[in-house]
Amino acid sequence: MVRTLKIVGTSFFLGYMALMAGPVAAQSPASHQHSFSGADKWAHIFDDPKRDERQKPHQVIQALALKPEAVVADIGSGTGYFSVRLSNMVSKGRVYGVDVEPDMVRYLGERATREKRANITAIAGTPDDPKLPEKVDLILMVDVFHHIENRAAYLRKLQSFLKPGGRIAIIDFRMESRDGPPKAERIAPEAVIAELKGAGYALSGQHGFLPDQYFLIFEPVAKAP
Ligand SMILES: C[S@@+](CC[C@H](N)C(=O)[O-])C[C@H]1O[C@@H](n2cnc3c(N)ncnc32)[C@H](O)[C@@H]1O
């Protein structure tokens, strides 16, 4: 059960921290699974307009340099904060918003209908499979990486969902950021890079303009002919 929403109106990141501190369902040192049911309540946090100031979604999406016909998977899409913005950018393409929490999938599907965003499809993923119906140009994971169980296998599986030239972009909280989930749950960018390398990817870009989060871009390492 999600805790109080009194924090709404103060700060996205403080609200996120307060909620993260509450509904822990199960934890392991490798990943942290929280309850993300109650999507309508989470929407007050994830889609709080105050979040934009530090999340800089427009700058993030500009940096991803997507073509209008691009196909994108927003894995761990939550209430659709990035999915709806991506849908504007890929007007001739598609956004798959993937989440393991059924109520988030329900919420995003209803939001896409309500906002007449025909190029968004909400997908019910599983912890080991995003269940994408086609290969994509970009996989985006914002504040999700530390929630993924068995990341080594999951990351290897993602390779099969990337088109040639496809990329994975990972945005998550820096260890030293004042805001974000509890520090014990964060994963340092060096560790993310090492995990991706182990799963067959190389770092192909990074951006430093987000005040609280790192922003890393990976591509599969080309296999020897
Ligand atoms: C902190 S929220 C971030 C939501 C969204 N990316 C945003 O920036 O607003 C993390 C989301 O990831 C989802 N999630 C966790 N593990 C997942 C997995 N293995 N596959 C897909 N979604 C997952 C959760 O249900 C939750 O909706």
Size of the chain in residues? 225
- Whether the pLDDT of residue 7 is over 80: the answer is no
Pairwise CA distance, residues 137 & 120, whole Å: 15
Pairwise CA distance, residues 170 & 220, whole Å: 14
- Taken in order of first residue, the domains within the chain and their CATH numbers are 55-220 (3.40.50.150)
Q: What is the sign, positive or negative, of the torsion defined by CA atoms of 75, 120, 167, 188?
A: negative
Least confident of 30-34, 87-91, 216-220: 30-34
pLDDT at residue 35 in the model: 77
Residue found under tokens 């007449």: 116
Name residues whose C-beta falls within 8 Å of residue 10's C-beta, 6 or more positions apart in sequence.
none
pLDDT at residue 191 in the model: 98
Residue 42's pLDDT band (cuts 50, 70, 90):
very high
**CA angle, residues 106, 111, 112, in degrees to nearest 5:** 100
pLDDT at residue 1 in the model: 31
pLDDT digits (tens, 9 = 90+) for 44-78: 999 999 999 999 999 999 999 999 999 999 999 99
Q: Which atom of ligand 1 is nearest to the CA of 140?
A: 6
Kindly report the pTM of this predicted structure.
0.90
Residues with CB under 6 A from ligand 1: 36, 46, 75-78, 81-82, 98-101, 104, 125, 127, 142-144, 147-148
Pairwise CA distance, residues 169 & 203, whole Å: 10
pLDDT at residue 37 in the model: 87
Two tokens at 215? 């922003």
Specify the residue with its C-alpha closest to ligand 1, atom 19. Answer: 127
H helices then E strands: how many in the chain? 8, 9
Our measurement of the distance from residue 29's CA atom to the centroid of its chain's CA atoms, rounded to an integer in Å, reads 20
pLDDT at residue 166 in the model: 98
Residue 224's pLDDT band (cuts 50, 70, 90):
low
- Mean of the pLDDT values across residues 116-138? 98
